[in-house]
Structure 1
């Protein structure tokens, strides 16, 4: 059992609709972390930016090999999302959680962002997904999922909520508030990794990637708005101690997702 876990957050600009250039850039960022961390988290659609044009840009199964090669070489797990073309020819915004042994867990974004027309281009996922690594349980989420607390409700006894995002400047206050709320209400670590820079539509992003503990305390300086990589250490004792002392989860309401 691993009681402590080093997690590295890559907050960076993304090159608009250019998978090759973005993969090359992340090659260097990931290589710099080899042997230094347990889990690396990348932004949403980290190979393209938040584009609604998946034709000729969406990845197929070969992208799993890219994740696997870095996870094995770096001896860490990786989580990030990409445009993905499905076997039926449809597209999804797919989160990939790859472990260093080559085992992986997939999560298709449940809440497609209607304001940008994502629901017209990408198929929505159907259910929450939990990934397990080093005896830690991770609830995999993507961007707009953050606005829907029922979908994140901790009924699976998970340890960490992971959000990867392209969350823009005009609504970054909601990003800050909701990440903190998800940590507090689920008594779990909550990690959000956002991008910085400007995308091809002119939308600006200011980052504010953050890690919250089970009581909503920030583990990184705030606000973090520059391109950088930061590493924090999570401790299971923070979860065990507070859940035993403050048994709020025992009073949660029951529900069934439609």
Structure 2
């Protein structure tokens, strides 16, 4: 039995009751060490396997092997396990097994949703989520998605905007989108969404974009043509007559 658990942005109050129950039921917890630090109090006394970046395949294979031995396993993902998390990989690997394990995907609060709540209501209308990481997706495909999403005037949520190895991807993304996104388009930046005192948020226009404040813990939300600011809130109208 494998639970693929989305633990949200960090902290027990942002976890669903289903996620808490799944971890409590589990004999073993497997996850990326950065995410496990948010739930150390919940996994005390359990068998724990933690590893670093680029070890996703090994983590999931380990979870399947442990499940085969009769263990109840929780595979932990930050945010939602089905959005850039471990749910897809677990299912892919399990589909190749002769004896398949029972898998339950436990939903969590993804970064775009958490950041949107911190900003106000920026994703009230049609939106899309694009990762700027080209570790597994060719940059040419990411460029095409950015261009088409901007042309369609989606609200665009950018995951993985910047890292030590990808210092210019976010700036390139804005250059691509600038063909269709006006300079006055509202942009929200949230660092450490849903993490209390660690949280930082900024609201500015497309032309004023500050690339230097962004890193891998940042969610960038670019509004559509109707998105506006009032007080310190970013709002995208749904279209109600008021």
**So what's the TM-score if we normalise by structure 2?**
0.37
**So what's the TM-score if we normalise by structure 1?**
0.36
Structure ranking higher in helix proportion: 2
